């Protein structure tokens, strides 16, 4: 990975003056490069997108086992005929209004993005710096760590509590002057929820000028309360959403941030809002329709929970330890190096996830369809004789 001095050197070699390079490396412009500076997610995956050697059962990357709701797909398909216009109608506004109504926040607090990875890196670049660090739980989603390192910001990692919540008091104590406190709830890779009361405590006690980022990528798979109401009443809380998970739209690239207009301004200072308004229309329309499908959302969540319960019952029966989860993933402890077990599953056509550094004997497994989880359990029976 490039470090900050490499990036500065690169800018100078490309003909920027020192002053221009400093400006680009600063909060105003660093997001352009930083959006891609986190550890690339495909590099963490086991399903080799470059080679195309996908396993038969893909439960390694926390994707949904099925695509967008058919009703949303149908509306998305219709807009393609009008895609000669940047904005055939009010698609982006409709998206904002729909999400705002569902979350009970003002429409000017919603910004759509092409997925949530881009705004995640922008938020890190906007609020962290060599003087203001990032505080994260460990284990958690690692993309913001890579971006913070690139920006020359200190990354402070605080272990989860014994029941796998973010330890918000320890997070604040570990760096009381941080620029950004990152809370992923439900957390990737544990699927565990940090209670909203803990998030409220962090928001109330953090230093003025710092920001709390609540990444709710997996919220729809749980029954947890969103932190959107905090983003609606404060200037220093941002909620991050993606349509890559329950909504089955990972390949369509749609995400959203919920934050005050003032906070949003800080994420868009260099690109004049283009990134968050010129979006692929089928994705925007698909997302808008999907959001309103209350019964289908509940049905998909219930389907995932049934497949997860089935898997947990099997693991229990076999005496294999796992961390109970509220989302579409869980950590399972093999009691031996996880990499070898992951390879054995792969050889059996089942692509499970990787391990996280502090837990070398545990793998992350995504909850797929019931058929996927039956295949996982059958492969497990063969591997763990
Ligand atoms: C916690 C979390 N946040 C953000 C993302 C980024 O997803 P996307 O860019 O597809 O919205 C992911 C992807 O796995 C994730 O797990």
Q: 265 and 299 in one domain?
A: no
Model confidence pLDDT, tens digit, residues 22-44: 765 654 344 444 444 444 443 44
Positive or negative torsion for Cα 176, 177, 183, 188: negative
Q: 252 and 108 in one domain?
A: yes
Q: 96 and 85 in one domain?
A: yes
Q: 298 and 220 in one domain?
A: no
Is 70 exceeded by the pLDDT of residue 133? Answer: yes
- In angstroms, the CA 17 to CA 23 distance is 10
Q: 9 and 150 in one domain?
A: no
Q: 60 and 182 in one domain?
A: no
Task: Identify whether 284 is part of a domain.
Answer: yes
Greatest CA separation found in the chain?
Answer: 65
188 lines ligand 1 (CB under 6 A): yes
Ligand 1, atom 6: closest residue by C-alpha: 117
Number of domains the chain is built from: 3
pLDDT for the residue 323: 98
201 or 51: which carries more pLDDT confidence?
Answer: 201
Ligand 1, atom 12: closest residue by C-alpha: 217
pLDDT confidence band for 53 (50 / 70 / 90) = confident
Model confidence pLDDT, tens digit, residues 238-286: 999 999 999 999 999 999 999 999 999 999 877 777 677 789 999 999 9
Q: 20 alpha carbon to ligand 1 midpoint, in Å? A: 32
Q: 215 alpha carbon to ligand 1 midpoint, in Å? A: 9
Task: Identify whether 36 is part of a domain.
Answer: no
Task: Identify whether 245 is part of a domain.
Answer: yes
CATH number where 114 lies:
3.40.640.10
Asked which of 253, 276, 291 is the last residue of a domain, the reply is 291
Domain of residue 61 covers: 42-65+294-383
Inter-residue contact 250 to 64 (CB < 8 Å): yes
pLDDT for the residue 218: 98
Number of neighbours of residue 110 by Cβ within 10 angstroms: 27
pLDDT for the residue 52: 72
268 or 91: which carries more pLDDT confidence?
Answer: 91
- In angstroms, the CA 45 to CA 165 distance is 25
Ligand 1, atom 2: closest residue by C-alpha: 217
Number of neighbours of residue 351 by Cβ within 10 angstroms: 24
Q: 111 and 25 in one domain?
A: no
Q: 254 and 361 in one domain?
A: no
Percentage of the chain lying above the pLDDT 90 cut: 83
pLDDT confidence band for 47 (50 / 70 / 90) = very low
Task: Identify whether 148 is part of a domain.
Answer: yes
Asked which of 291, 314, 347 is the last residue of a domain, the reply is 291
Q: 259 and 129 in one domain?
A: yes
Task: Identify whether 90 is part of a domain.
Answer: yes
Phi/psi at 333 (5° precision): -105, 115
Q: 278 and 253 in one domain?
A: yes
Q: State how far the alpha carbon of 317 is from the alpha carbons of 228, 308, 312, in Å.
A: 39, 14, 9
Q: What angle do CA 252, 310, 219 make, to 5 degrees?
A: 40
Give the ligand 1 atom nearest the CA of 140: 1
CATH number where 377 lies:
3.90.1150.10
Q: 261 and 215 in one domain?
A: yes
- In angstroms, the CA 40 to CA 45 distance is 9
Give the ligand 1 atom nearest the CA of 120: 4
Q: 298 and 287 in one domain?
A: no
Of 244, 256, 326, 364, which is best to mutate to test ligand 1, by the most ligand atoms within 8 angstroms of its C-beta? 244
Which stretch of 42-51, 52-61, 258-267, 361-370 has the lowest confidence by average pLDDT? Answer: 42-51
Q: State how far the alpha carbon of 91 is from the alpha carbons of 105, 274, 319, in Å.
A: 19, 15, 51
Of 116, 124, 214, 249, which is best to mutate to test ligand 1, by the most ligand atoms within 8 angstroms of its C-beta? 116
């Amino acid at each position: 990975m490039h470090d900050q001095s490499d990036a500065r050197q690169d800018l100078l070699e490309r003909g920027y003056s020192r002053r221009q390079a400093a400006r680009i490396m600063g909060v105003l412009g660093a997001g352009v490069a930083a959006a891609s500076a986190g550890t690339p997610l495909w590099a963490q995956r086991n399903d080799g997108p470059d080679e195309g050697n996908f396993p038969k059962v893909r439960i390694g990357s926390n994707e949904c086992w099925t695509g967008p709701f058919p009703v949303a797909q149908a509306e998305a398909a219709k807009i393609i005929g009008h895609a000669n216009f940047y904005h055939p109608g009010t698609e982006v506004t409709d998206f904002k209004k729909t999400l705002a109504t569902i979350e009970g926040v003002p429409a000017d607090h919603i910004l759509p993005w092409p997925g949530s990875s881009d705004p995640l890196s922008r938020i890190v670049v906007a609020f962290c710096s060599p003087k203001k660090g990032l505080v994260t739980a460990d284990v958690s989603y690692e993309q913001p760590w890579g971006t913070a390192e690139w920006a020359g910001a200190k990354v402070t990692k605080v272990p989860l509590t014994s029941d796998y919540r973010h330890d918000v008091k320890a997070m604040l104590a570990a760096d009381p002057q941080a620029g950004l406190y990152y809370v992923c709830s439900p957390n990737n890779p544990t699927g565990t929820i940090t209670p909203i009361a803990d998030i409220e405590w962090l928001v109330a006690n953090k230093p003025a000028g710092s920001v709390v980022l609540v990444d709710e990528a997996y919220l729809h798979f749980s029954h947890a309360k969103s932190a959107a109401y905090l983003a609606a009443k404060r200037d220093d809380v941002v909620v991050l959403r993606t349509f890559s998970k329950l909504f089955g739209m990972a390949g369509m690239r749609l995400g959203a941030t919920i934050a005050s207009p003032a906070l949003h301004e800080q994420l868009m200072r260099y690109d004049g809002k283009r990134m968050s308004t010129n979006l692929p229309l089928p994705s925007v329309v698909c997302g808008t329709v999907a959001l309103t499908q209350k019964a289908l959302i509940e049905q998909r969540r219930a389907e995932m929970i049934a497949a997860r319960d089935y898997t947990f019952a099997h693991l229990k029966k076999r005496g294999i330890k796992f961390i109970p989860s509220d989302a579409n993933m869980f950590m399972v402890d093999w009691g031996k190096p996880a990499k070898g077990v992951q390879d054995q599953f792969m050889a059996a056509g089942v692509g499970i996830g990787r391990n996280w550094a502090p837990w070398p004997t545990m793998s992350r497994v995504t909850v797929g369809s019931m058929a996927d989880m039956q295949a996982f359990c059958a492969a497990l029976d063969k591997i763990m004789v």
